[in-house]
Amino acid sequence: MATVLLLEDDPATRERLAGIVAHAPNLALAAACGDLAGALAWLGSHPAPDVLLVDLQLPDGSGIELIRAARRMAPQAESMVISVFGDEAHVVAAIEAGATGYLLKDASAEEIATAIERLRAGEAPISSAIARHLLKRFRAQEAPAASAPSASPLTPRENEVLQLIAKGLSYQRIADTLDMSPHTVTTHIKQIYRKLAVNSRGEAVFEAMQLGLLPRAGS
Amino acid sequence: MTRRWRRALLLPLIAVLAGLPWALDRLVAVPEPLRLSKALFAETIDDERARERALPHRWRSDCADCRTVWYRFDLALDDLPPQTQAVLVPAQADNVAVYLNGRLIGQGGRFADPVARLGPRPLLASAPAALWNPGDNRLYVLVKAGRPDHGFMPAPGLGPEAGLRRLAQWREFLALTLPQVFATAAAIVALTMGAIWFHRRRDADYGVYALAALAWAVHVLFAMLVDTPWPAPVWDAWLATTAAVAAAAAWVMGARLSDRGPRRVAALAAAAAGGAAAVAAFAEPTGVGADVVRALALAAFGLAGAQLAWRNRQRAVALSAAGAAVAAGAVHDLAVAARVLAPDAVPALPLALPVLLGVAAWLLLLRFVETLNAVELLNIDLEALVRERTAALEAQFERVRELERERAIATERERLMRDMHDGVGGHLVSMLAMIEADDRRPAELATVVRDALDDMRLMIDSLEPVDDDLNAVLAMLRDRLAPRLRAARVDLHWDVPLLPAVPGLTPARVLHVLRMLQEAVTNAIRHGGARTLWIAAAATPDAVRLVVRDDGAGFDPATVRGGRGLANLRRRAAEVDATLTIASAPAAGTTVSIVLGLRGNASAAA
DSSP string for B243-283: HHHHHHHHHHHHHHHSTT--HHHHHHHHHHHHHHHHHHHHH
Asked whether the predicted pLDDT for residue B353 surpasses 70, the reply is yes
pTM reported for the whole predicted model: 0.51
Residue B266 binned pLDDT confidence (cut-offs 50, 70, 90):
low
Question: Which H/E stretch holds residue B138?
Answer: strand B135-144
- What is the arithmetic mean of pLDDT over B430-457? 83
Instruction: Determine the 3-state secondary structure of B14 from DSSP.
Output: helix
How far is residue A19's CA from residue A29's CA, in Å, rounded to a whole number?
A: 9
Class of domain B467-605: alpha beta
How far is residue A183's CA from residue A174's CA, in Å, rounded to a whole number?
A: 11
Instruction: Determine the 3-state secondary structure of A139 from DSSP.
Output: helix
Q: What is the pLDDT of residues A22-31, one digit of tens each?
A: 998 888 999 9
Q: Which string of DSSP letters, residue by residue, matches A23-92? A: HSTTEEEEEEESSHHHHHHHHHHSPPPSEEEEESEETTEEHHHHHHHHHHH-TT-EEEEEESS--HHHHH
- Does B456 sit within 8 Å of A128, measured CB to CB? no
Asked whether the predicted pLDDT for residue A5 surpasses 60, the reply is yes
Average model confidence (pLDDT) across chain A: 79
Asked whether the predicted pLDDT for residue B406 surpasses 90, the reply is yes
pLDDT for B76: 85
pLDDT for B191: 92
Question: Please, are residues B38 and B55 in contact by the beta-carbon 8 Å criterion?
Answer: yes
Residue of chain B with shortest Cα separation from A83: B457
**Please, where are the H alpha helices in B312-425?**
317-337, 349-420
Which residues of B are less than 8 Å from A171 in CB distance? none
Q: Output b/e per residue, B430-465; b: 16+ Cβ within 10 A.
A: ebeebeeeeeeeeeeeeebeebbbbbbbbbbbbebe
pLDDT for B389: 94
Class of domain A2-120: alpha beta
CB atoms inside a 10 Å sphere around CB B526: 14
Which residues of A are less than 8 Å from B496 in CB distance? 168
Nearest to A108 among B471, B479, B487 (CB): B487
Nearest to B457 among A85, A107, A167 (CB): A85
pLDDT for B412: 84
Partners of B152 in the β-ladder: B58
Residue of chain B with shortest Cα separation from A170: B494
Asked whether the predicted pLDDT for residue B595 surpasses 80, the reply is yes
pLDDT for B289: 56
Sheet of B51-54, strand order: B51-54, B38-42, B68-77, B135-144, B95-100, B103-107
CATH architecture type of domain A128-210: Orthogonal Bundle (1.10)
* B window 438-467, beta carbon within 8 A of A: 449-450, 453, 456-457, 460-461, 464
CB atoms inside a 10 Å sphere around CB A75: 15
- Does B472 sit within 8 Å of A132, measured CB to CB? yes
Asked whether the predicted pLDDT for residue A208 surpasses 60, the reply is no
User: Closest Cα of chain B to A172: distance in Å?
Assistant: 12
Nearest to B478 among A84, A108, A168 (CB): A168
Which residues of A are less than 8 Å from B478 in CB distance? 128, 168
Which residues of A are less than 8 Å from B464 in CB distance? 88, 129, 132
Lowest mean pLDDT among B66-75, B82-91, B395-404: B82-91
* B window 474-503, beta carbon within 8 A of A: 474-476, 478-479, 483, 486-487, 494, 496, 498
Average model confidence (pLDDT) across chain B: 82
Instruction: Determine the 3-state secondary structure of B320 from DSSP.
Output: helix
The residues near B454 (Cβ < 8 Å, ≥ 6 apart) are B480, B484, B518
Residue B443 binned pLDDT confidence (cut-offs 50, 70, 90):
confident
Class of domain B31-168: mainly beta
Task: Using CB atoms within 10 Å of the CB of residue A153, give its burial: 0 to 12 exposed, 13 to 18 middle, 19+ buried.
Answer: middle
Residue of chain A with shortest Cα separation from B495: A169
The yes/no answer to whether this complex scores an ipTM above 0.85 is: no
Asked whether the predicted pLDDT for residue A146 surpasses 70, the reply is no
Instruction: Determine the 3-state secondary structure of B217 from DSSP.
Output: helix
Residue A150 binned pLDDT confidence (cut-offs 50, 70, 90):
very low
Residue A202 binned pLDDT confidence (cut-offs 50, 70, 90):
very low
How far is residue B122's CA from residue B344's CA, in Å, rounded to a whole number?
A: 10
Residue B352 binned pLDDT confidence (cut-offs 50, 70, 90):
confident
Nearest to A166 among B472, B487, B496 (CB): B472
Residue of chain B with shortest Cα separation from A103: B483
- Does B486 sit within 8 Å of A168, measured CB to CB? no
Task: Locate the domains of chain B by residue range.
Answer: 31-168, 175-375, 467-605
Which residues of B are less than 8 Å from A167 in CB distance? 469, 471-472, 475, 498
Q: What is the pLDDT of residues B94-116, one digit of tens each?
A: 889 999 988 899 888 888 878 88
Residue of chain B with shortest Cα separation from A164: B498
- Does B486 sit within 8 Å of A88, measured CB to CB? no
Q: What is the pLDDT of residues B461-505, one digit of tens each?
A: 888 777 888 888 898 888 888 888 888 889 998 888 888 888 888
Residue B59 has phi, psi (to 5 degrees) of -85, 0
- What is the arithmetic mean of pLDDT over B284-301? 64
- Does B479 sit within 8 Å of A128, measured CB to CB? yes
Asked whether the predicted pLDDT for residue A94 surpasses 60, the reply is yes
Q: What is the pLDDT of residues B569-581, one digit of tens each?
A: 888 898 888 999 9
pLDDT for B2: 63
Which residues of B are less than 8 Å from A168 in CB distance? 471-472, 474-476, 478-479, 494, 496
Task: Locate the domains of chain A by residue range.
Answer: 2-120, 128-210
Question: Which H/E stretch holds residue B584?
Answer: strand B579-584
Q: Which string of DSSP letters, residue by residue, matches A175-204? A: HHHHTS-HHHHHHHHHHHHHHHHHHTTHHH
CB contacts < 8 A, A to B, total 53
What letter does residue B115 receive in the DSSP assignment? P
pLDDT for B279: 59
User: Closest Cα of chain A to B501: distance in Å?
Assistant: 12
Question: Please, are residues B126 and B28 in contact by the beta-carbon 8 Å criterion?
Answer: no
Residue of chain A with shortest Cα separation from B486: A111
* B window 364-423, beta carbon within 8 A of A: none
pLDDT for A35: 92
How far is residue B163's CA from residue A84's CA, in Å, rounded to a whole number?
A: 123
- What is the arithmetic mean of pLDDT over A62-89? 84
Q: What is the pLDDT of residues B154-204, one digit of tens each?
A: 889 998 888 889 999 988 898 889 889 989 998 998 998 899 889 888 888
| Percent of chain B topping pLDDT 90 | 15
Nearest to A111 among B453, B474, B483 (CB): B483
Nearest to B464 among A104, A111, A129 (CB): A129
- Does A106 sit within 8 Å of B450, measured CB to CB? yes
What letter does residue B342 receive in the DSSP assignment? -
Instruction: Determine the 3-state secondary structure of B598 from DSSP.
Output: coil
Residues of A with CB under 8 A from a CB of B: 84-88, 104, 106-108, 110-111, 127-129, 132, 165-168, 170
- What is the arithmetic mean of pLDDT over A188-215? 58
Which residue type is seen at B31?
A: P
Q: Which string of DSSP letters, residue by residue, matches B149-212? A: GG-EE---EEEEHHHHHHHHHHHHIIIIIHHHHHHHHHHHHHHHHHHHHHH-TT-HHHHHHHHH
pLDDT for A201: 46
Nearest to B461 among A106, A129, A167 (CB): A129
3-state secondary structure B455-521: HHHHHHHHHCCCCCCHHHHHHHHHHHHHHHHHHCCCEEEEECCCCCCCCCCCHHHHHHHHHHHHHHH
Find, among B250, B246, B360, B347, the residue nearest to B307 by Cα: B250
Q: What is the pLDDT of residues A158-197, one digit of tens each?
A: 888 888 888 887 788 888 888 998 888 888 888 887 777 6
Task: Using CB atoms within 10 Å of the CB of residue B11, give its burial: 0 to 12 exposed, 13 to 18 middle, 19+ buried.
Answer: exposed
Instruction: Determine the 3-state secondary structure of A171 from DSSP.
Output: helix
Nearest to B460 among A87, A108, A111 (CB): A87
Asked whether the predicted pLDDT for residue B147 surpasses 50, the reply is yes
Asked whether the predicted pLDDT for residue B602 surpasses 80, the reply is no
Question: Please, are residues B180 and B88 in contact by the beta-carbon 8 Å criterion?
Answer: no
- Does B483 sit within 8 Å of A108, measured CB to CB? yes
- What is the arithmetic mean of pLDDT over A111-134? 79
Residue B293 binned pLDDT confidence (cut-offs 50, 70, 90):
low
Residue B562 binned pLDDT confidence (cut-offs 50, 70, 90):
low
